[in-house]
Amino acid sequence: MGYSYKTYTDTKEVMKKYVNAREGKIIYSIGKTRFMALAGEAGAIYKVGNSALVNTEVFETYLEQFHEPSRSLPKHIWKKLQESDVDRDSPHK
């Protein structure tokens, strides 16, 4: 029997608005404690009886403030990558 693993990008369109800590740690690939701490900072936690639910829309808006712009590769690495591309394009016959 095969296993079917879903990734976040596969399920983003049907993602729940509210998740518990266990679901949140899987979706965002961080620990449960860290997820709940960030959700608390974001003000995204809703207490329902003994359960705590996190609003993913509020959480993701808060998470965007940690986004860092991408950096270009160092020149020595960039040159190696370009050289390896040239080697692949040349015939070895």
Determine the pLDDT at residue 55: 96
In the 8-state DSSP scheme, what is residue 17? S
Total structural domains within the chain = 1
CATH code of residue 56: 1.10.10
Query: So what's the pLDDT on residue 3?
Result: 55
Query: Residue 1: inside a domain, yes or no?
Result: no
Domain containing 83: what range? 9-89
What is d(CA 7, CA 64) in angstroms, rounded to the nearest whole number? 20
User: Does residue 83 fall inside a structural domain?
Assistant: yes
What are the angstrom distances between the C-alpha of 64 and each of 38, 42, 67, 88, 92?
12, 11, 5, 38, 47
**Is 31 contained in some domain?**
yes
Cβ neighbour number for residue 30 with a 10 Å cutoff: 15
pLDDT at 41 over 70: yes
**Token pair of 45 as six digits:** 């936690």
The yes-or-no verdict on residue 87 having pLDDT over 90 is no
**Under DSSP, is residue 55 helix (H, G, I), strand (E, B) or coil?**
strand
Evaluate whether residue 24 is within a structural domain. yes
Does residue 85 register a pLDDT over 80?
no
- Position 4 in a domain: no
Residue 38 located in a structural domain: yes
CA-CA distance, 50 to 72, in Å (whole number)? 47
